[in-house]
């Protein structure tokens, strides 16, 4: 999966979790929490969706790596290698 696909995968998950948020203008360098209404319960959902859709496991201690789109890409690059984007 390319970096762009990883971004799309995360955006797709956020769009499902927060159907009222505008996911079209997320700044990849800025913390997601600062751009939209996401709390710790929502980050748990991102982690669970990653497992459900891509079979990727994210331990509690690694949640910090999901702070921004850019940090998600860096953290997930190896874990998502070879996976197909789920729309």
Contact residues toward other proteins (CB under 8 A) are: 16-20, 37, 39, 41-42, 44-45, 47-48, 51-52, 57-61
Closer residue to other proteins (CB): 39 or 78 = 39
The backbone torsions φ and ψ at residue 31, rounded to the nearest 5 degrees and listed phi first, read -55, 135
Asked if 40 and 3 count as a contact pair (C-beta separation under 8 A), the reply is no
Please provide the size of the chain in residues. 87
CB nearer other proteins, residue 18 or residue 67:
18
- Pick the closer one to other proteins by CB: 58 or 69: 58
Residue 4, both tokens: 């762009």
């Amino acid at each position: 999966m390319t970096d762009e696909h990883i971004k799309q995968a995360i955006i797709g998950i956020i769009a499902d979790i927060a159907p009222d948020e505008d996911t079209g203008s997320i700044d990849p360098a800025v913390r997601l929490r600062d751009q939209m209404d996401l709390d710790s319960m929502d980050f748990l959902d991102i982690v669970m969706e990653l497992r459900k859709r891509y079979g990727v496991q994210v331990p509690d201690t690694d949640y910090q790596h999901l702070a921004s789109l850019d940090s998600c890409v860096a953290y997930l690059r190896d874990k998502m290698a070879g996976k197909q984007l789920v729309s």
